[in-house]
Amino acid sequence: MIATSQIEQEIVDRFGHAVAFEETLDRIPTAWVTRDSVPALLRFLKEEVDQPYKMLYDLSAIDERMRQHRDGQPASDLTVVYHLLSFARNEYVRIKVALAEDRASLPTTTSIWPAANWYEREVWDMFGIAFDGHPNLRRILMPNSWVGHPLRKEHPARATEIGPYQLSPEKELAEQEALRFRPEEWGMSRERDSSDFIFLNLGPQHPGTHGVLRLALQLDGEEIVDVIPQIGFHHRGAEKMGERQSWHTYIPYTDRIDYLGGVMNNLAYLTAVEKLAGITVPPRAQVIRVMLAELFRIISHLVWYGTFAQDVGQMSPVFFTFNDRERAFSIIEAITGARMHPSWFRIGGVAADLPKGWEKMFRDFIDYLPPRLVEYDKTIMRNFIFKARTKGIGSFTVDEAVEWGVTGPNLRACGLDWDFRKRQPYCGYENFEFDIPTAQHGDCYDRAVVRIEEIRQSLRIIEQCVNNMPAGAYKSDHPLATPPVKERTMHDIETLITHFLSVTWGPVMPVGEALGAIEATKGNNGYYLVSDGSTVSYRTRIRTPSFAHIQTLAPLAQGLMIPDLVVILGSLDFVLADIDR
């Protein structure tokens, strides 16, 4: 296929026939390149091209061996997919590399982006694709003793497809041995000059890690020499499940990715699904979605606010913010019937119309929260001990943040006013008035400042939703909207059949692929979906902000002390399920 977009032309000018192009449903310029030209091309895109693609947004792979519809694509068993983001162009580019099964390796890009480190380990872990020259190519989500690569199509998806689990004494010993901590394997030395290091195991059960995160700390006294996170304890194979669940029944699984984000996850997933299906969501449904998503942004930020203060050693705020969150949940509950995981958005709209009296609940909340925030400013943000603990601790520059794939409030705290709601509006965000809060220093305190202001901005958006809620349908009448609008089901046979198929098998999405990315509570959450023209997704890739953020821990914490590490962890605002999926 010929080059259609500007960047594709630039790639052709430079790399000529080594590149082929593909058109995708999300209209992201997509280029196929050969294995050996990957580093050169990526370096070209990051450093040489005008308006460069500074961020490695995502790196994943697709097992193509069972895929039936690959018209116009080069032959490939395993395809590695790079998503790059250019802030100057406000545009993504997708680079694909075709690999043969028996030669599943390609050169590493860790020298171009430090952030590639974990992504490449994940691709190795999940697909068995090796990256030559990677500094530490170990499994990342699965245990070291795991056999097989789970996202390969031949790997069983559920326990019933494999034999019962047996733990023989030999296996038990081997598993225990595999758990033994050897600093060398983690890339840490045991001593420096005249001092022996202490190795402190922080987590996976530790009050400061907000979940099952394990950190191996290399300490000189209480000073952190290095910190290496071990993740994967919360891995539940969400991407693999995407390959068995119908497009519709996968929605509840998304709620549990960023489990503080509730319907925000539905929104990210459905943005991608609706791009595949070509559904335009009716205005009322859009506004309802925005309203609930922003309420969940507030809910998530409130949890962060309280727990962050607790990480700094303040014991009361967590009770205050959780009480506020409870009020927000009572609204969510009245509308959706559930609290943390409503799974309430549907393909083409939302599950039901708003109940009677919803405006009053929102208005009460909009009046209730701002005075509370003023109080928290006094008790938390203006407390001098709090300031002494958070200012100048764990700071990024914009360039470093971009380099590490940091998005969301953490990126805005460095001074870059990049908000996907404004830059690449989705779901009708272009119709709302709100500001993008930013800060300057990118330290723990500034990250807090940005989030707190975001709560206020979200309230503004919600207020606009309440004041301007359009009338009309809450779900699209597109044939792929699921479950379909039911009004005419009992009146004509065509609608009845569509309805029946759509609720029993589920909708069949058109062949193609799409990335749907939104400004979620913690940063950019993207779903990259590949449809092979069936009732289930062929590949569901979930790009989460927390994964990128937690990888920055080592550079942020080196040279500081354990209390600072805990504060940095709190300020990054991650959720373990969002890291491990």
Partner 1 sequence: MTSPHPILSILGVAIVALSIAAFLIWVERRLLALWQDRYGPNRVGPFGLLQVAADSIKIFMKEDWIPPFVDRPVFILAPAIVFVTVLMSFAVLPVAPGIIVSDLSVGLLFFLAMSSLGVYSVVLAGWSSNNKYALLGGLRAAAQMLSYEVFMGLSLMGVVLLAGTFSLPAIVEAQRTIWFVIPQFPGFVLFLIAGLAETRRIPFDLPEAESELVAGYHSEYSGMKFGMFFVGEYMGVSLISAMISVLFFGGWLGPVLPGVVWFFLKMFSFIAFFVLVRAALPRPRFDQLMSWGWKVMLPLALINLLATGAAVLAWR
Find the binder of partner 1 among 68, 189, 195, 316 (CB under 8 A).
316
Place of tokens 């006094």: 378
Report how many residues bind partner 1 under the rule CB under 8 A.
29
By beta-carbon proximity to partner 1, the closer residue of 210 and 412 is 210
Does 206 contact partner 1 by CB under 8 A? yes
Does 388 contact partner 1 by CB under 8 A? yes
By beta-carbon proximity to partner 1, the closer residue of 39 and 563 is 563
Does 310 contact partner 1 by CB under 8 A? yes
Taking CA atoms, 241 is separated from 29, 155, 305, in Å, by 28, 12, 32
Rounded to an integer, what distance in angstroms lies between the CA atom of residue 472 and that of residue 64? 42
Dmax (CA) for the chain in angstroms is: 85
Contacts of 279 (CB under 8 A, 6+ apart): 347, 348, 476, 478, 480, 481
Does 174 contact partner 1 by CB under 8 A? no
Taking CA atoms, 267 is separated from 296, 310, 400, 472, 521, in Å, by 11, 30, 29, 20, 12
Identity at 191, one-letter amino acid code: E
SS3 245: coil
By beta-carbon proximity to partner 1, the closer residue of 362 and 386 is 386
Does 374 contact partner 1 by CB under 8 A? no
Helices (H), 468-516: 493-504
> C-alpha angle 94/100/104, rounded to 5°?
80
> C-alpha angle 315/215/557, rounded to 5°?
75
Choose one: 120-128, 168-176, 396-404, 555-563; the region binding partner 1 (CB under 8 A).
Answer: 555-563
By beta-carbon proximity to partner 1, the closer residue of 136 and 383 is 383
Report the nearest approach of partner 1 to the CB of residue 478 (Å).
46
Find the binder of partner 1 among 341, 389, 478, 581 (CB under 8 A).
389
| Residue 431 β-bridge partners | none
Residue (of 265, 255, 262, 270) closest to 481 by Cα position: 270
Does 309 contact partner 1 by CB under 8 A? yes
By beta-carbon proximity to partner 1, the closer residue of 222 and 430 is 222
Report the nearest approach of partner 1 to the CB of residue 388 (Å).
6
Does 386 contact partner 1 by CB under 8 A? yes
Sequence length of the chain is 581
By beta-carbon proximity to partner 1, the closer residue of 111 and 323 is 323
By beta-carbon proximity to partner 1, the closer residue of 465 and 567 is 567
Does 447 contact partner 1 by CB under 8 A? no
By beta-carbon proximity to partner 1, the closer residue of 143 and 221 is 221
Find the binder of partner 1 among 145, 187, 319, 467 (CB under 8 A).
319
Does 218 contact partner 1 by CB under 8 A? no
Report the nearest approach of partner 1 to the CB of residue 574 (Å).
15
Does 428 contact partner 1 by CB under 8 A? no
Rounded to an integer, what distance in angstroms lies between the CA atom of residue 175 and that of residue 213? 20
Does 323 contact partner 1 by CB under 8 A? yes
Report the nearest approach of partner 1 to the CB of residue 300 (Å).
20
Q: Are 95 and 81 in contact (CB under 8 A)?
A: yes
Token pair belonging to 362:
């929102």
Report the nearest approach of partner 1 to the CB of residue 39 (Å).
41
By beta-carbon proximity to partner 1, the closer residue of 223 and 364 is 223
The H-or-E segment that residue 31 falls in is strand 30-33
Report the nearest approach of partner 1 to the CB of residue 311 (Å).
5
- Taking only Cα atoms into account, the Rg of the chain, rounded to an integer number of angstroms, comes to 24
Find the binder of partner 1 among 5, 249, 314, 431 (CB under 8 A).
314
Token pair belonging to 153:
């199509």
Identity at 516, one-letter amino acid code: G
By beta-carbon proximity to partner 1, the closer residue of 319 and 505 is 319
Q: Which of residues 219-278 bind partner 1 (CB under 8 A)?
A: 222
DSSP structure class, residue 484? P
Between 317-336 and 358-376, two packed helices, what is the crossing angle to 10 degrees? 170
Contacts of 430 (CB under 8 A, 6+ apart): none
Choose one: 1-9, 282-290, 318-326, 417-425; the region binding partner 1 (CB under 8 A).
Answer: 318-326
By beta-carbon proximity to partner 1, the closer residue of 208 and 442 is 208
Find the binder of partner 1 among 116, 281, 312, 548 (CB under 8 A).
312
Does 140 contact partner 1 by CB under 8 A? no
Report the nearest approach of partner 1 to the CB of residue 392 (Å).
12
Find the binder of partner 1 among 114, 128, 208, 523 (CB under 8 A).
208
By beta-carbon proximity to partner 1, the closer residue of 146 and 319 is 319
Report the nearest approach of partner 1 to the CB of residue 177 (Å).
20
Does 563 contact partner 1 by CB under 8 A? yes
By beta-carbon proximity to partner 1, the closer residue of 329 and 538 is 329
Q: Which of residues 465-484 bind partner 1 (CB under 8 A)?
A: none
Report the nearest approach of partner 1 to the CB of residue 393 (Å).
9
Rounded to an integer, what distance in angstroms lies between the CA atom of residue 128 and that of residue 125? 6
Find the binder of partner 1 among 88, 174, 385, 497 (CB under 8 A).
385
Find the binder of partner 1 among 143, 148, 313, 355 (CB under 8 A).
313
By beta-carbon proximity to partner 1, the closer residue of 182 and 491 is 182
Choose one: 55-63, 171-179, 307-315, 362-370; the region binding partner 1 (CB under 8 A).
Answer: 307-315
The alpha carbon dihedral of 560, 562, 563, 566 has a sign of positive
Rounded to an integer, what distance in angstroms lies between the CA atom of residue 153 and that of residue 137? 22
Taking CA atoms, 447 is separated from 38, 53, 104, 419, 579, in Å, by 35, 25, 40, 14, 19
Rounded to an integer, what distance in angstroms lies between the CA atom of residue 304 and that of residue 217? 24
Contacts of 447 (CB under 8 A, 6+ apart): 409, 410, 413, 439, 571, 572, 573
Identity at 358, one-letter amino acid code: W
Residue (of 377, 312, 336) closest to 567 by Cα position: 312
For binding to partner 1 (CB under 8 A), which residues are involved?
198, 200, 206-208, 222, 309-316, 319-320, 323, 379-380, 383, 385-386, 388-389, 561-564, 566
